[in-house]
Structure 1
Amino acid sequence: MGGKNTRIRVVSSREEISKLNPNERLVHLAFRPSNKDIFSLVENCPRIEVIQLPRSYMATVSKSIEMFLEMQRIQLLEGEVWGHRKDINDYYSIPTSVIEDIKEMKTEGKATEEIQHAVAKENRLNPVMVAYIMAKETIA
C-alpha cells in the first residue's frame, strides 16, 4: 500500500456487496449486516483483511460470525468514517495528517502502543485501525 493513502471502502447497503472489487482489503459496513452479508462479503472479496462496523452494529454480530472471521484471519473492528459523504466517493481515505502524525511520533522514539492510542484519540480512529495503518503504510 505504501505511497497511496490507506483507503476504506464504504458499503452502505447489502446490494453493493456483489459489486465490490474482489481486491478490497479494508471495508466499512455502514448498515447492520446479517450473517449472510458477512459471508457474501468474504466470498466476494477473498483478500479482505479488515471489516469495520459502527459501534451500534458491533453488538449485533453473532459469535459464530466472530469465530468465522477469526478463522479467516479477518479483523472485525469498531469504527466510524467521520464526515464521509458516500454520494461523493465510495472510499474514505485515511487523512495524510494521520500518517504524518505517526511518522513524527516514531521519529520522536515513542512506543508503538503510545502512538496507536494518541493517534486514535486525536483522529477518532480505533487503535487497532491505527495499528493496521502502521503495518500497511511504509512508515520509516
Structure 2
Amino acid sequence: MKIRVVSSREEIFTLNPNERIVHLAFRPSNKDIFGLVETCPKVEVIQLPKSYMRTVSKSIEMFLQMQRIQLIEGDVWGHRKDINEYYSISPSIIEKIKEMKIEGKSTEEIEKRVSRESKLNFEMVAYILNKETSA
C-alpha cells in the first residue's frame, strides 16, 4: 500500500487521477483540498500532520464527509520526498493486521499494537484494517 506524498500546492494538479491515499505535507487551503478532490476523483484518504489538522475548516470537513473521503491525522516518518514520491506501508504490517484479525483480536487492540510498532497512527491502521479485511 502506498501513500502519495504531496509537498506543495503546485504538485496537486500533476497527480495521477487514480491516487487513493494522499498525504499533504503543507498547510492546505480549502481551494487546495477542492483541487485535490477534483484532480483525484478516486481519493479515499487525505492525511495531514497534526499541526495542520487544527486549521482545516468545518466546511471542508463536511465536504469531505459528503464525498466519503476520510481526513486523518498522521505523518510519514522518515520519508524523503527527493528519493521517492510515495511512502510505502510495508506488506509485513498489512500481514500483521490480517493475522491479528484472524486471531480474533479486537479492532482497538490491533490499532493500538500496530500503531505502536509501526509508527502509523490509529486512523491509518483502522483504514488499512477496513480496506484489507473487506477486500
TM-score bracket for the superposition, by shorter chain length: over 0.9
For the 8 Å contact 1:9–1:24, the answer to whether it is kept is: yes
Which structure is higher in RCO with an 8 Å CA cutoff and minimum separation 6? 1
With normalisation by structure 1, the TM-score equals: 0.89
| Unaligned residue ranges in structure 1 (runs of 5+) | 1-5
| Unaligned residue ranges in structure 2 (runs of 5+) | none
Q: Does residue 62 in structure 1 map to residue 57 in structure 2?
A: yes
SS in 2 for 1:137: helix
Q: Does residue 72 in structure 1 map to residue 57 in structure 2?
A: no
CA shift at 1:111, angstroms?
Answer: 1.4
For the 8 Å contact 1:103–1:139, the answer to whether it is kept is: no
User: Structure 1 residue runs of 4+, over 3 Å off?
Assistant: none
Which residue matches 1:86? Answer: 81
Which residue matches 1:49? Answer: 44
CA RMSD of the aligned region, Å? 1.6
Q: Give the letter for the 1:74 counterpart.
A: I
Q: Give the letter for the 1:72 counterpart.
A: Q
Percent identity between the two aligned chains = 76
Task: Give runs of aligned pairs for residues 1-140 of structure 1, distance below 5 A.
Answer: 6-137=1-132
With normalisation by structure 2, the TM-score equals: 0.92
SS in 2 for 1:9: strand
CA distance in 1, matches of 2:133, 2:7: 30
SS in 1 for 2:19: coil
CA distance in 2, matches of 1:97, 1:107: 15
